[in-house]
């Protein structure tokens, strides 16, 4: 059977392609935005990638076309599919029908931290020799791929609230029929498809309605936006977690150092410790959520903490790319004010607690539709306060008032309309010993590689 995937270089669709190939299907795909790590993963898997959305890609008449949510009416491939009555499905629907049937699905939902938490949970089950299936919207470093079928009943999945396809406006996670569900947080995002926070909460309520009575939800204690979802109805068991003493939370995390690189997790009369290289309260929250979900699948607290102490992280989540003429570059996926703030605050904390006197530079490409629409105008300045310098890519599509954000941020703030100008700025300003965090959820026109080369070239 031949499956063709439209939008195959998206993190979800690329992972779905891997699963389809593992099931024995012939898999091909089309996309117009091609960049690592998904493009290189598809190449390594031997999956043919066609650039653009030319209807000629359907010359072999695939048995099924799986359409990603980036493709809509007006796309030439979509128009051809409809005019010629070719069979098609959304990615989440195809996944539900062909992979998730009869599996114990552990789903990780929330506005931030889904990819990291999903990777943690999959790794805990792998460490415990459960051989889980998984689909992650990124590439976990403890595995060699972003997805696999696995051989046990357990399947761990990143559960996105974004819509399924142009013809199915339900959130992806409604298709997954989770038994264990992490709801890590909930904020307004995706302003291109959701009118307000209430519209997202409605989708989370639909998720709640799909969880069976023997299922479990795991969420931060006292999260107001999630509590509003639960008030609409919940039909399964609930557990909560908290960083810091909280007698009302089921799972409690206690810092063992100021940076959060060591912490203790307590549940009822048990406790165990995690020691890892990751910093910040958000990583501890992700960790305890994964531990709680693993416990529902029968993994002991001690085993889970031991597993997380061996967790290596995820590509593009504050991933160190290397040192270039004494300047250390990092790649990070953050594209929402809260994610930007937690990443920079955690990094600043680590610098302040060490003897490192280097400055923290942040380069941002605001690619999400919500960002470009200007929705986060009033919350971005506060998210940047931990950086010493901020350099912003000024896209023609953005409605953000960047001058106002810079004036309110309290940090050195610059914006440029091209990648070349950003590189010129940083090459002049970054000194040996400095740290540069590049934040983008796209390829950023190859800035990561170009900047590293330019810094190395300046030595001569």
Mean pLDDT by 10 residues, the chain (460 residues): 94 94 95 78 89 93 95 96 96 97 96 92 98 93 94 97 94 97 90 87 96 98 96 97 92 88 94 91 93 98 98 85 92 82 84 79 84 78 93 86 88 93 95 93 87 88
Q: Are residues 25 and 85 in the same domain?
A: yes
Q: Are residues 146 and 81 in the same domain?
A: no
Structure confidence at residue 163 (pLDDT): 94
Q: Are residues 18 and 146 in the same domain?
A: no
Residue 163 lies in a domain: yes
Q: Are residues 24 and 137 in the same domain?
A: no
Residue 313 lies in a domain: no
- Tell me if the bond preceding 37 is cis, omega within 30° of 0: yes
Q: Are residues 264 and 395 in the same domain?
A: no
CATH of the domain at 230: 3.40.1190.10
Q: Which of 92, 116, 140 is the last residue of a domain?
A: 92
CATH of the domain at 361: 3.90.190.20
Residue 314 lies in a domain: no
Q: Are residues 88 and 104 in the same domain?
A: no
Task: Please give the order of strands across the beta sheet that includes 26-31.
Answer: 48-51, 26-31, 2-6, 64-67, 88-90
Q: Which of 308, 340, 355 is the last residue of a domain?
A: 308
3-state helix, strand, coil in the chain (%, to 5): 35, 25, 40
CB-based contacts of 402: which residues, under 8 Å, 6+ apart? 392, 394, 413, 415
Residue 409 lies in a domain: yes
| Torsional class of 230: left (φ above 0), alpha (ψ -120 to 50), beta (otherwise) | alpha
What CA–CA distances, in Å, run from 215 to 106, 175, 445? 10, 16, 44
Residue 358 lies in a domain: yes
- CB-based contact 136:118 (threshold 8 Å): yes
- Would you state the structure tokens that stand for residue 277, as one six-digit string? 């290289």
- CB-based contact 242:253 (threshold 8 Å): yes
Q: Are residues 39 and 131 in the same domain?
A: no
Q: Are residues 110 and 188 in the same domain?
A: yes
Q: Are residues 393 and 343 in the same domain?
A: yes
- Range of 382's domain? 319-457
Alpha carbons 79 and 21: distance in angstroms, whole number: 26
CATH of the domain at 12: 3.40.50.720
Q: Which of 308, 332, 348 is the last residue of a domain?
A: 308
Q: Which residue has the tokens 């270039």?
A: 324
- Would you state the structure tokens that stand for residue 210, as one six-digit string? 């799909």
Number of domains making up the chain: 3
Residue 268 lies in a domain: yes
- Would you state the structure tokens that stand for residue 199, as one six-digit string? 């519209």
Q: Are residues 241 and 174 in the same domain?
A: yes
- CB-based contact 400:391 (threshold 8 Å): no
* 268-302 core/surface letters (b: 16 or more CB in 10 A; e: else): eeeebebebebbbbbbbbbbbbbbbbbbbbebebe
Q: Are residues 129 and 273 in the same domain?
A: yes
DSSP 24-41: T-EEEEEES---TTHHHH
Q: Are residues 19 and 119 in the same domain?
A: no
Residue 72 lies in a domain: yes
- Would you state the structure tokens that stand for residue 388, as one six-digit string? 């010493």
Burial of 439 (0-12, 13-18, 19+ CB in 10 A): buried
């Amino acid at each position: 059977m031949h499956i063709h995937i439209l939008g195959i270089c998206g993190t979800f669709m690329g992972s779905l392609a891997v699963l389809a190939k593992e099931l024995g299907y012939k898999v091909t795909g089309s996309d117009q935005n091609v960049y690592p790590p998904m493009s290189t993963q598809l190449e390594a898997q031997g999956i043919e990638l066609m650039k653009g959305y030319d209807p000629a890609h359907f010359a072999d008449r695939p048995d099924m076309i799986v359409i990603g949510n980036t493709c809509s009416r007006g796309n030439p491939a979509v128009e051809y599919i409809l005019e010629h009555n070719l069979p098609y499905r959304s990615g989440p629907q195809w996944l539900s029908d062909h992979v998730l049937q009869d599996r114990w699905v552990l789903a990780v939902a929330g506005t931030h931290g889904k990819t990291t938490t999903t990777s943690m949970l999959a790794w805990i089950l792998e460490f415990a020799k459960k051989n889980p299936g998984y689909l992650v919207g990124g590439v976990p470093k403890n595995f060699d791929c972003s997805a696999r079928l696995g051989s046990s009943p357990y399947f761990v999945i990143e559960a996105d609230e974004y819509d399924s396809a142009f013809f199915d406006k339900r959130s992806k996670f409604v298709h997954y029929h989770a038994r264990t569900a992490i709801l890590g947080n909930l904020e307004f995002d995706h302003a291109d498809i959701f009118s307000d926070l209430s519209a997202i909460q409605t989708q989370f309520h639909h998720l709640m309605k799909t969880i069976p009575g023997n299922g479990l939800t795991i969420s931060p204690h006292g999260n107001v936006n999630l509590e509003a979802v639960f008030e609409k109805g919940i039909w399964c068991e609930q557990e909560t977690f908290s960083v810091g003493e909280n007698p009302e939370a089921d799972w409690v995390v206690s810092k063992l150092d100021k940076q959060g690189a060591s912490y203790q997790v307590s549940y009822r009369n048990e406790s165990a410790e995690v020691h890892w290289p990751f910093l910040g309260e958000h990583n501890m929250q992700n960790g305890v959520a994964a531990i709680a979900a693993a416990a529902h699948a029968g993994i002991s607290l001690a085993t889970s903490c031991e597993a997380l102490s061996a967790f290596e992280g995820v590509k593009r989540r504050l991933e160190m790319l290397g040192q270039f003429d004494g300047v250390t570059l990092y790649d990070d996926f953050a594209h929402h004010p809260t994610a930007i703030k937690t990443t920079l605050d955690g990094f600043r904390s680590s610098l302040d607690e060490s003897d490192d006197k280097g400055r923290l530079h942040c380069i941002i490409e605001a690619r999400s539709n919500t960002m470009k629409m200007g929705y986060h105008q009033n919350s971005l300045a506060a998210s940047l306060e931990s950086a010493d310098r901020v350099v912003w890519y000024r896209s023609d599509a953005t409605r953000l008032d960047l001058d106002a954000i810079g004036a309110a941020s309290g940090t050195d703030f610059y914006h440029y309309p091209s990648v070349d100008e950003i590189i010129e700025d940083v090459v002049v300003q970054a000194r040996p010993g400095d740290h540069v965090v590049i934040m983008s959820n796209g390829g950023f026109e190859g800035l990561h590689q170009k900047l590293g080369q330019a810094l190395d070239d300046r030595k001569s």
